Amino acid sequence: MSSIVKIVLSHEVLEKSQFNKLQKEIERLIESGGKIIMLDFSKISFLKNSELMAVVAIVKLVRDSACILLISAMSEQVRILFELTGLEQIFQCFPPAEEVDLKSDMTEPLAGLQSVAR
């Protein structure tokens, strides 16, 4: 199992119908040795309240496991929302994923979700 896992978030994955799958997959990745979880926001230009709550749930899940949570490619609207809610203090933010040097052998795809690992 790789220690860095990149998850490309989408509105579909953050919806209630898909979020339980995402949550279980993150738990599986952590249990199998994942140490750094990178959330790629490149497909998200805004967040509805329910989607923001899903992101907060991911934060709690990763924090409870003593893993590191990173964010990549946050849009200006999402960045402003995170500033208004104080969430920007919790995350380390990076530029778009293609600008971050992650080798493909360091990441692993998510099982059956619409998100992908690089």
Taking the CA atoms of 43, 79, 55 and 27 in sequence, report the sign of the dihedral they define: positive
DSSP secondary structure string for all residues of the chain: --SEEEEE--HHHHSHHHHHHHHHHHHHHHHTT--EEEEE-TT-S---HHHHHHHHHHHHHHHHTT-EEEEES--HHHHHHHHHHTGGGT-EEES-GGGS---GGG----SSSS----
Beta strands 4-8 and 36-40, pairing class: parallel
99 confidence band (pLDDT: 50, 70, 90) = low
Instruction: Tell whether the model's pLDDT for residue 97 goes beyond 60.
Output: no
Is pLDDT of 15 > 80?
yes
What tokens were used for 55? 């992101």
What pLDDT shows up at residue 113?
A: 47
| Residue bearing tokens 């809610």 | 85
Average pLDDT value for residue range 78-91: 86
pLDDT on residue 49? 92
pLDDT digit string, tens, across residues 28-71: 988 988 888 888 998 999 999 999 999 999 989 988 888 888 88
For the chain, how long is the longest CA-to-CA vector?
Answer: 37
Q: Give pLDDT, residue 19.
A: 93
pLDDT for residue 81 is more than 80? yes
pLDDT score for 51: 93
Q: Which domains does the chain have, with CATH numbers?
A: 4-106 (3.30.750.24)
